[in-house]
Amino acid sequence: MNTRSSIVGEVTPISAHPDQFLFVIGAMKSGTTSVFRLLSNHPQVCRPAEKEPDFFSDNDVWANGFDAYYNLWEWLPGKHVVALEASTSYAKFPMLPHVPDRMSTLSGARMKFVYIVRNPIERIESHARHALYEGWFNGLNLSNDGTSSLIECTKYAQQIDQYVQRFPAEDLLILTNDELRSDPRGAVLKICEHAGLDPKMLPEADLEKANDGGQYSRARWSNTFAQSKAPVSMAIKYVLKLVVGLERLRRWHNSDALRVTGPRYQLDETERAEVMEILTPDLRRLRDTYGVDIKGLWGIDV
């Protein structure tokens, strides 16, 4: 049996791996980092070694197998109720279509999901700022496949569909970014109820905004190179991965960013109209199928 020594010297058994999971699957730029931080304060929550392991979405990480995945948590039976992670790549269909199918192979585990929705224009603008850091965004061009992820990640009903088609609908909680902003503790208590966590054990904590919109990161050459899908770039990255390792390569990419203070990126009126026309069918289903009050929340009447 695996064991871990506590601070006072007693030995506590550690199970082979977690058997209950809470996935904060997205939407990207909707408050997942803030929710992760607040939930991590709960003593019944087992926090992973990293917020976004991307195990079910990243082919290289997936290839490491379930043992490597389980080792991200120091799971203590009798103390922990859920193993938490918050990989927003899990809600990027159709770019990453295989995630729920891979999750369904997590044998013997109970799984709960949280999906956060945000005003679609706000989410796209925030995603665009993030994309400046990644090095591939130079302005919205809806005819350019390079911006499709901004739109597809904002088709909230489409993302939810992928999970309710494979898991019981009651296992997925839809939360709004508006709830998170106005009553962060209430929003997290709702998640606690959904996940079977004792609400009385949630410590008092203020919501700190995880990502400041006043600054953004513009790509340096290393960030752009890391995102490149060109054959030469892919070959060089493959060699680098073998030489320095995948995790070191990722850290190098993520740490080498140029912080820029400037105005928030915003869509112009024409772009907003074009985006809303594309999103309208999905927003209608978000309202009619999944019960999100898009008019009351965001003033969207479609």
- Average pLDDT, stretch 76-90? 96
Q: Please check whether residue 246 lies inside any domain of the structure.
A: no
Q: Please check whether residue 38 lies inside any domain of the structure.
A: yes
pLDDT at 220 over 70: no
Parent domain of 66: 2-120+153-210+281-298
pLDDT at 35 over 60: yes
| DSSP class per residue in 102-156 | HHTT-TT-EEEEEEEE--HHHHHHHHHHHHHHHT--SS--TTSGGGHHHHHTT-H
Q: Please check whether residue 216 lies inside any domain of the structure.
A: no
Give the pTM. 0.78
Looking at beta carbons, which pairs linking 265-268 to residues 24 or more positions away fall under 8 Å? Answer: 265/125, 265/128, 265/129, 265/132, 265/216, 266/125, 267/121, 267/124, 267/125, 267/140
Q: Please check whether residue 286 lies inside any domain of the structure.
A: yes
Per the model's pLDDT, the better-predicted residue between 222 and 242 turns out to be 242
Q: How does residue 141 score in pLDDT terms, banded at 50, 70 and 90? A: low
Q: Name, in order, each residue with C-beta under 8 angstroms of 122's C-beta and a sequence gap of 6 or more.
A: 177
Domain count, the chain: 1
Task: List helix spans (H) across the chain.
Answer: 32-40, 59-62, 66-70, 99-103, 120-134, 148-152, 156-164, 177-182, 184-195, 221-227, 231-244, 246-255, 269-288, 294-298
pLDDT at 287 over 90: yes
Q: Are strands 215-218 and 172-176 parallel, antiparallel or unpaired?
A: unpaired
pLDDT at 192 over 90: yes
Quote the mean pLDDT of the chain.
83
**Whole-angstrom Cα distance, residue 55 to residue 59?**
8
Q: Please check whether residue 52 lies inside any domain of the structure.
A: yes
Q: Please check whether residue 27 lies inside any domain of the structure.
A: yes
Q: Give the pLDDT score at 14.
A: 45
The domain that contains 169 carries what CATH number? 3.40.50.300
Token pair 């799971």 is at which residue? 75
Q: Please check whether residue 177 lies inside any domain of the structure.
A: yes
